[in-house]
Amino acid sequence: MITLPTDVVEHLNAHCPARTDEALQPRFGISYNTWRKIERGEAIRGSVARRLIERARGEMAVSGPEGARSAASAR
């Protein structure tokens, strides 16, 4: 079990289309129950945490901090 780093949680929150299974599954590959654990700062399954960390950090590297904020505010 792994707790996600703060920067990853902030990125996920900024890029969350909606807090439903239908929105979370295609965007992050997680359920609403996992999302709630992430929001509460609880540990999630290691394989899921590693995948989310890799994906979020990859997106952050491509867009940079300014691009991430711009993309979120453009929605």
pLDDT tens digits for range 11-66? 999 999 999 999 999 999 999 999 999 999 999 999 999 999 999 999 988 876 55
Domain boundaries, the chain: 6-73
Q: What's the number of CA atoms in the CB half-sphere (13 Å) around residue 65?
A: 2
The distance from CA 55 to its chain's CA centroid, rounded to whole angstroms, is 8
**Could you tell me the pTM of the whole model?**
0.76
Specify whether the CB–CB gap between 15 and 74 falls below 8 A: no
Instruction: Give the Cα separation of 37 and 44 in Å (integer).
Output: 7
